[in-house]
Amino acid sequence: MKIGIFGINTGACAEPQTAAKVAVAAEQIGVESLWTAEHVVLPDPREAPSPADPETPFLHPSTLLAYIANVTDEIKLGTGITLIAQRNPVVLAKEMGSLDVISSGRLLLGIGAGYLHQEFSALGVDFSSRGAKTDESIEIIRTLWNKANPEYQGKFIQFKNIQAQPRPLQAGGPPIIIGGTSPAALRRTVTHGNGWYGFALDVETTKSVLENLEIAKSRYERDPNLGPLSISITPPSRPSKTMMEDYAAIGVERYIPILASSDEATSLTYLDKLNSELF
C-alpha cells in the first residue's frame, strides 16, 4: 500500500515554512505522496455545499507544490483535486506541465468537475456544463502535452498552429487521477483516467463504488495506453493499520489520510504517529 498525506496546502500548512517541514519529514518516513486541496473561493457566510468555513486558507496547489518540490527529492506531489472545469485548460496544461518540470517529473494530477456552485458563480463559469468541460479539458491537456503539432476543435476550446512548451518530463504527461463517485465521474475514470480517487469514503462505501466502477468498465471503451487503473482513497476518520488493510483487501492501492494540523508541532507529531502505526 502506498501512503500519502492530504492537506499539504491548508490548515497549518497554509504557512509555507510549515508545509516545507512537513514535506521533508513525510519524505523521510517514506510517505509516497503529498496532496493539496483546492478551492479558489468559499461562500461567506458558509452555506451548503461548502466544505469549509470561509476564512479557511487554501494555498494555490501548483504554487505550493512547486515550493515544496524545491525542498524534497522523491516524494510525489498530487492535486486532490484540481477543479478542472473552472480553469482554462490551455493555461492549466502549461501550469501543470511546468510543475512537472520543476518537480523533476513527480506530479500526480488529480482532477474533478467540482460541486460548489457558489464558486463557479464567482468565477463566471457555467455550473451546468462542468461535466462536458471536464471531459474536453482532459483531452485538451493531453493533446498539448503529447502532440507534435497540437490541434483541437471542441465545443468550448479550439486551437491550431500553436505550441505550449515546455512539455512535462513524464512520458505521456503526469498521471490523471479522477475524483468523484457519480456515474459520470466513473465513466470519465474509465475513458480518460489513469486512476480514481475517492475522498472521505469508508470501506463499505468504497467497496460499493468500486463495484460500480467495474460496471462502468464493462460499458465504456478504455484506451489500453491509459494502463491499469490505480485506486486511491482518503478515509473519513483517523487512520489505522487495520483500516488500511481493509481498504487494501478491496483493491485500494494508495491510502491518503488527512493531515491533522492545527499547528506545526501537531502536524509533525501526526507524522510520527503515522510512522509508528502504518509503516
pTM of the predicted structure, to 2 decimals: 0.97
The C-alpha atoms of residue 180 and residue 201 are separated, in whole angstroms, by 11
In this predicted structure, what is the pLDDT of residue 45? 97
Nearest to 174 by CA among 223, 98, 94, 108: 108
Is residue 143 within 8 A of residue 150, CB to CB? The reply is yes
Domain count, the chain: 1
Q: How many Cα atoms occupy the beta-carbon half-sphere of 155 within 13 Å? A: 9
- The residue whose grid cell reads 487494501 is 248
**Beta-sheet pairing, 176-179 with 195-199:** parallel
The domain that contains 266 carries what CATH number?
Answer: 3.20.20.30
- The residue whose grid cell reads 492501492 is 253
Regions in the chain scoring below 70 on pLDDT: none
Dihedral sign, Cα of residue 107, residue 194, residue 197, residue 56:
positive
Residue 95 one-letter amino acid: E
Neighbours of 77 (CB within 10 A): 27
Q: Is residue 109 classed exposed, middle or buried when 0-12, 13-18 and 19+ CB atoms within 10 A define those classes?
A: buried
Residue range(s) defining the domain that contains residue 194: 2-278
In this predicted structure, what is the pLDDT of residue 261? 80
Q: Give the E-state strand segments of 49-151 in sequence order.
A: 76-83, 107-112
